[in-house]
Amino acid sequence: MKCDKCDKPAVVHTTDISGGQKIEKHLCEDCAASEGITVKASMEISQLLEDFVLQTSRGKESVQLKCDGCGMTFAEFSQQGLLGCPNDYDRFEKALLPLIGRAQEGATQHIGKAPRRTGGEQKKKMSLLRLRAELKGAIAAEDYELAARLRDRIKETEQP
């Protein structure tokens, strides 16, 4: 599709309703800018990741955190997207939890499979974590019948 004002390819498409009539505009980047419609330039994926990490971290104090084990700073993590050592999880915990929660649909603890040799108590804890996560989802979806059944299952599982 071409721009309504010139022959360049249209990259901005708007639809306005005025007086009960639909008015569509198809503009190139230059014509859109001349009409006051701002178009954010494309960004590198690394820049998007860095911006996301910086916005979701808890302020400037998170960026200044530094691991005692490997020497990596949270700012370096935000640029690279990779942690330097296992100690980073503990050192950057407060800044990482919101990121992990967003990436894992709110879950910040592992509730997946456990090794077979794991004792019954560990399996019980894993089952409770899974049930509580399902309960949280049911409440968020306002499925109160399922939430009530899950609540009952949690009570049964918690009993010795």
Q: What's the DSSP call for residue 4?
A: S
Distance, in Å, from the CA atom of 74 to the CA atom of 118, rounded to the nearest integer, reads 34
**Is it the case that residue 148 has pLDDT exceeding 90?**
yes
Q: Is the pTM of this model over 0.85?
A: no
Q: What is the pLDDT of residue 152?
A: 93
Mean pLDDT along residues 112-136: 76
- Predicted confidence at residue 149, as pLDDT, reads 92
Domains of the chain, residue spans: 1-41, 45-103, 120-158
Query: For all residues of the chain together, what is the average pLDDT?
Result: 77
Rounded to the nearest 10 degrees, the angle between the axes of helix 45-56 and helix 93-103 is: 120
Note the pLDDT tens digit of each residue in 14-73.
Answer: 888 878 888 888 988 888 888 777 655 555 666 666 666 655 554 455 557 788 888 888
* Crossing angle for the helix pair 120-140 and 144-158, to the nearest 10 degrees: 160
* Predicted local confidence at residue 127, as pLDDT: 81
Amino acid of residue 142? E
Over residues 139-148, mean pLDDT:
89
What is the pLDDT, as a whole number, of residue 114?
Answer: 61
Q: Which of 88, 103, 158, 99 is nearest to 128 (CA)?
A: 158
pLDDT at 110: 61
Q: Which of 66-70, 93-97, 141-145 has the highest mean pLDDT?
A: 141-145
For position 151, what pLDDT does the model report?
92
HEC letters along 37-94: CCCCCCCCHHHHHHHHHHHHCCCHHHHCCECCCCCCEHHHHHHHCCCCCCHHHHHCHH
Decide: helix, strand or coil at residue 13: strand
Question: What is the structure's pLDDT at 54?
Answer: 59
Share of the chain above pLDDT 90, in %: 6
DSSP state of 122: H
